[in-house]
Chain A
Amino acid sequence: MSKRIDVHDLDIYYGKFKAVQGVEMTIEPRSVTALIGPSGCGKSTFLRSLNRMHEVIPGAYCEGEVMVDGVNLYGKNVDPVGVRRKIGMVFQRPNPFPTMSIAENVLAGVKLNNQRIKKSDADELVEKSLRGANLWNEVKDRLDKPGSGLSGGQQQRLCIARTIAVKPDVVLMDEPCSALDPISTLAIEDLIEELKADYTIVIVTHNMQQAARVSDKTGFFNITGIGKPGQLVEYDATEKIFNNPNEKATEDYISGRFG
């Protein structure tokens, strides 16, 4: 399953501070969208507003619309818990639950939705999710060992397995490779390529090559000054953004990084 996301005139606040302003964006199903831009321009903030994780921070709120297949996530009767079950998230720092084994970590989200799950179904789901995250072969002999005993890259793939185990429609990733070595990074990039077949993926990254490699579309966020809100400057096919952007700011940012 995967879904189309329409963001319309979205303003995002931390208390009185407006961190992001006026975002308009349409994200196609079964595509990878990369978000790039300088530090502090609101990429993480925007990403977290897509599954209502933003409002977990005290005082934080949004104004505007995020439509997922025609339903506004910020509509009156929408339960944020339900939204997060449908729109999963992978964080910058790998965060498996330290008190749980590898298998328990994979099942953590499923156990929430459906407390009683047959042992055979559970085993099957663990294997399927870990295979889906390209981790199965590395951990199949130690599923009952703590998840925190894995390497950083393995932990991050475990977190991806945990996220896809609940079969979300959309997977959000906030700099999922920034704590990883180049080989683990490649493993995750390959994984994103595969996940694209089933999920809508939005990924924040500081790595231009990564954005160019994995994404179909790219959004460039920028701020005009300190204390000003971040804005979506340009959003287009990745090819276009990297070769022939419409905006000067985009070109400066990209060429600056590429040297």
Chain B
Amino acid sequence: MRRPGDRIFSGLSTSAGIVILAALALVAIFLIIQAMPALLADPSEVRGGQGLFHYIGPLVFGTLLSAFIALLIATPLSIGIALFISHYAPRRLAAVLGYIIDLLAAVPSIIFGLWGAEVLAKGSVPLQEWLFENLGWIWLFSGEQATATGRSLLIVSTVLAIMILPIMTATNREVFLQTPSLHEEASLALGATRWEMIRQAVLPFGRSGIVSGMMLGLGRALGETMAVAIILSASGARYSWELLTSNSASTIAADIALNFPESSGISTNTLIASGLVLFLITLIVNMIARWIVSRRAEFSGAN
């Protein structure tokens, strides 16, 4: 016999779970149904006039490119900040810093977008021009002309990096704090400096945690709409590695946000189809992240 309280609670939580799953399924079904016409339509009717894959391909490319660059910026930063909090900062300062980083997670993305477009983009024009002039031989910084407004894919990635910093830092800090003191002391007793101890004991122990933090960050960076839409003026459906020019690639989320209001008919269906692709990409990334996290749990149990 179970107590009524238990039964009510388990009933509530089960139904909540079912509602969430149902909502997810409904979203997927909606996307598929709405995307269908674009899949079936004649290529010339689709946005861009050359078929669905021709339209979505470059956007997928741009989405992945900006998210990966964001990850490239955020990963070392988040590891550095997390290490500082877990192993260098005095306890009081560490608590304050952790709190500030968590607060960053609560800033709405539209604010990040406005800040990125108004402050960061404008302020960094000289820096971007410098990169263009001096490091133009790196394919990422090459192109015709650096954008005069500064609203480039590089700024998009930088803002995305700042947005995914809190979750990545929080995950990293958690795993770094969990390093068994047994292993830290083993390293110190061999005559390791603090940094050597971190490389020998803390980072290897935290590796899978770092990877799962990266995946979570990637998931968020991929789906981010508002910040990207506000900053990026380029609405190009083109494959381009250029980070500094106004000829850069665009992202799915930004493309939808920019073009949805004025679209109709097959055009709308095309946008929804690209949304479906984004949905699948983020789903897969998040599933991989969960899988890595769970594998990690098994590992630490066995040790």
B partners with A: yes
Most buried by A among B183, B188, B303: B188
**Chain A min CB distance to B10 (Å):** 39
A108 touches B187 (CB 8 A): yes
Mark interface residues in B138-159 (1 if CB within 8 Å of A CB, else 0): 0000000000000000000000
Mark interface residues in B185-209 (1 if CB within 8 Å of A CB, else 0): 1111111110010001100110100
**Chain B min CB distance to A38 (Å):** 24
Instruction: Confirm or deny: A82 has a beta carbon within 8 angstroms of a beta carbon on chain B.
Output: yes
A109 touches B190 (CB 8 A): yes
List A residues 58-101 near B (Cβ within 8 Å).
Answer: 58, 81-82, 84-86, 88-89, 91, 93, 95-100
**Chain A min CB distance to B182 (Å):** 4
Known contacts A97-B200, A97-B204, A112-B200: A163-B303 contact under CB 8 Å: no
Interface size range of chain A in the complex:
20 to 34
* Chain A residues within an 8 Å CB radius of B207: 99
Known contacts A81-B193, A85-B190, A112-B191: A58-B91 contact under CB 8 Å: yes
Most buried by B among A56, A100, A148, A159: A56
Instruction: Confirm or deny: A31 has a beta carbon within 8 angstroms of a beta carbon on chain B.
Output: no
Q: How far is the CA of A148 from the CA of B204 in the complex (A)?
A: 14
Known contacts A108-B200, A112-B200, A148-B303: A97-B186 contact under CB 8 Å: yes
A112 touches B192 (CB 8 A): yes
* Chain A residues within an 8 Å CB radius of B189: 51, 53, 84, 88-89, 91, 163
A99 touches B192 (CB 8 A): no
- Shortest Cβ distance from A56 into B: residue: B188
Q: How far is the CA of A109 from the CA of B180 in the complex (A)?
A: 18
**Chain B min CB distance to A148 (Å):** 7
Q: How far is the CA of A163 from the CA of B191 in the complex (A)?
A: 10
**Chain B min CB distance to A175 (Å):** 14
Q: How far is the CA of A163 from the CA of B189 in the complex (A)?
A: 9
* Chain A residues within an 8 Å CB radius of B200: 97, 108, 112
Instruction: Confirm or deny: A162 has a beta carbon within 8 angstroms of a beta carbon on chain B.
Output: yes
Instruction: Confirm or deny: A178 has a beta carbon within 8 angstroms of a beta carbon on chain B.
Output: no
Known contacts A98-B303, A99-B204: A84-B182 contact under CB 8 Å: no
Q: How far is the CA of A56 from the CA of B207 in the complex (A)?
A: 24
Partner of B191, one of A82, A95, A97: A82
Instruction: Confirm or deny: A241 has a beta carbon within 8 angstroms of a beta carbon on chain B.
Output: no
B188 touches A166 (CB 8 A): no
* Chain A residues within an 8 Å CB radius of B180: 95
B205 touches A99 (CB 8 A): yes
Q: How far is the CA of A163 from the CA of B187 in the complex (A)?
A: 10
* Chain B residues within an 8 Å CB radius of A56: 185, 188
- Shortest Cβ distance from A162 into B: residue: B190
* Chain A residues within an 8 Å CB radius of B186: 91, 95-97, 159, 162
Instruction: Confirm or deny: A113 has a beta carbon within 8 angstroms of a beta carbon on chain B.
Output: yes
A163 touches B183 (CB 8 A): no
* Chain B residues within an 8 Å CB radius of A82: 191
B303 touches A84 (CB 8 A): no
Known contacts A91-B185, A91-B186: A81-B191 contact under CB 8 Å: yes
Q: How far is the CA of A96 from the CA of B187 in the complex (A)?
A: 10
Partner of B190, one of A58, A88, A98, A100: A88
A113 touches B185 (CB 8 A): no
Q: How far is the CA of A98 from the CA of B200 in the complex (A)?
A: 11
List A residues 152-204 near B (Cβ within 8 Å).
Answer: 159, 162-163, 166
Most buried by A among B91, B182, B207, B303: B182
Binding site for B on A (CB under 8 A): 51, 53, 56, 58, 81-82, 84-86, 88-89, 91, 93, 95-100, 108-109, 112-113, 148, 159, 162-163, 166
Can you list 19 residue pairs at the A/B interface with Cβ under 8 Å? Answer: A51-B189, A81-B192, A84-B189, A93-B182, A95-B185, A95-B186, A97-B186, A97-B187, A98-B183, A98-B205, A99-B204, A99-B207, A108-B187, A108-B200, A109-B192, A162-B190, A163-B189, A163-B190, A166-B191
Binding site for A on B (CB under 8 A): 91, 180, 182-183, 185-193, 196, 200-201, 204-205, 207, 303
